[in-house]
Amino acid sequence: MRRTLIDEQDRSADLRLAIDRTGYYPEVVADAVSGAVAGEQVVSFFVHHEPTFERDEVRRHLTVAVLTPSRLVLAHTDEYAGDDLLPEPYTSTSTEAIALSTVRSVVVTRMVTNPTEGPSSPAEAVLTIGWGGVGRIDLEPASCTDPECEADHGYTGVLASDDFSLRVSAAADGVDAVSRLLAFAESLSARTQPA
């Protein structure tokens, strides 16, 4: 039985615990996320800690996705060793709040190993959310069915909305992380259905 949206409890405390568990500047991240959520109820969330390797350095990136009754809030935090403007190590956190009414697509891709054995826990999942903030055009030369034709037919292409994409794998992030991402995607899909 599906839960009704009204019965959902505020999960702000669970979100804070998940941010704390990453150990990645939790006070800085929590402050930025809290400011972007702006006191709204936290319906669902997903926290993804991703280290990246750059030459001989390991840098960390944290993505926090929060679903409120009216908005999708995304926060990205990166760390830097310092540069000419800020010589000391620092973090940079960007937040974006998207009205749920503007979300155009929620695409979920599940990779399941050994599908002949029936349903099992996905080995990987990719969540892609589009709201029209970022568009991508893939172009290629157009052609006709005549193999002898040498005419210029211009270009053909696809315009795709690819505002946010997140990939989680059981091998890298754990089976539980894949399940949590799918649960977040389901909650977001339920709230972006047309009235």
Express each pLDDT in 74-123 by its tens digit: 999 998 887 888 889 889 999 999 999 999 989 999 999 988 888 788 99
Q: How confident is the model at residue 3 (pLDDT cuts 50, 70, 90)?
A: very low
Q: How confident is the model at residue 136 (pLDDT cuts 50, 70, 90)?
A: low
Query: Cα separations (Å) of 159 from 126, 137, 155, 176?
Result: 20, 5, 13, 34
Express each pLDDT in 153-184 by its tens digit: 888 776 665 589 999 999 999 999 999 999 99
Express each pLDDT in 56-71 by its tens digit: 777 789 999 999 999 9
- pLDDT above 50 for 2: no
Long-range contacts of 59-67 (CB under 8 A, 24+ apart): 60/24, 62/22, 62/24, 62/29, 63/166, 64/15, 64/19, 64/29, 64/33, 65/164, 65/166, 65/184, 66/15, 66/33, 66/36, 66/37, 66/42, 67/42, 67/43, 67/184, 67/187, 67/188, 67/191
Considering the chain, what is the average pLDDT of its residues? 87
3-state class of 173 per DSSP? Answer: helix
**Alpha carbon 151 to its chain's center:** 43
Count of CB atoms situated within 10 Å of the CB of 116: 4
Instruction: Specify whether the CB–CB gap between 96 and 73 falls below 8 A.
Output: yes
Query: What is the model's pLDDT at position 80?
Result: 84
Residues in the chain: 195
Query: Cα separations (Å) of 105 from 37, 41, 69, 193?
Result: 22, 23, 17, 10
In terms of C-beta density within 10 A (0-12 exposed, 13-18 middle, 19 or more buried), how is residue 181 classed?
A: buried
Give the helix ranges, DSSP H, for the chain. 12-22, 26-37, 170-173, 175-191
